[in-house]
Amino acid sequence: FLKEDGGEDSWTEEYATKSSDGTQTIVGNDPSRLPGDRSTFMSYGLPWANASNSPFRLFKSWVHEGGISTPFLLHWPNGTKSDLIGTIHNKPWLMNDIVATIFEVAGVTYPSKYKGVKTPSLEGQSFLRVLSDARTKRNKPIFWEHQGNKAVRDGKWKLVNRHGGNWELFDMEKDRTELHDLAPTKKRRVKQMIAMWEAWAKRCDVHAWPLHPIAKGEKDWVHFPWLW
């Protein structure tokens, strides 16, 4: 497909490099070769992608739990309440929250301007208080968009859309594996959360997917990485 859409040279040149010992990297999935050494650049296929994130749904690129859920380790003995050291905090936070937390730890105010130019608003929320109060939870919704896949998490509710499919609603306290879609019976909540996501997407300048027209006869290949 890269030959047909004219992207072969730029795409392969980015990854088909030589290692420090002169080994040429070969891009693409080849079942006859074992991936992992410096001569390969390939994925390990759809079955293993699902197995790696079990019991969660899907994997990298999608915004179901298998594609976004990642543990985070925090080590700061002097800044953590003694009875919370070594414990697990199960409430969801977002990578953007790290920035907000660093600002709070440093006692620095996020700048409204930088070199005379207005800065984007700080989307993250500090999780510093987690280190002193285990009951702490994020009080702002969390939003995602990646290659047309969309989601919003608001408290226990998660609304998620696999690109090209329907919005699904899950109660994450009872159904973290996202198996029981509640959208058909909670239409009002779905409508509210879609409006929340659309307002966020507009504010953050999220563009509709695909960003460029897909050639006739082609697939939207980002949604089929196991076929690369």
Question: What digits encode the pLDDT tens for the residues 70-96?
Answer: 999 999 999 999 999 999 999 999 999
Per the CB < 8 A criterion, the answer to whether 220 and 214 are in contact is yes
Question: What mean pLDDT is reported for the chain?
Answer: 88
The highest-confidence range among 1-5, 14-18, 33-37, by mean pLDDT, is 33-37
- pTM of the prediction? 0.82
Preceding peptide of 210 cis, ω within 30°: yes
Residue 126 has a pLDDT of 95
Q: How far apart are CA 189 and CA 14, in angstroms?
A: 44
For residues 175-208, one letter each, b for 16 or more C-beta atoms within 10 angstroms of the residue's C-beta and e for the rest, the string is ebebeeebbeebeeebeebeeebeebbeeeeeee
- φ/ψ of 31, rounded to 5, equals -60, -20
Mean pLDDT to the nearest integer, 196-221: 89
**CB neighbours of 155 closer than 8 A, spacing ≥ 6?**
none
Per the CB < 8 A criterion, the answer to whether 10 and 4 are in contact is no
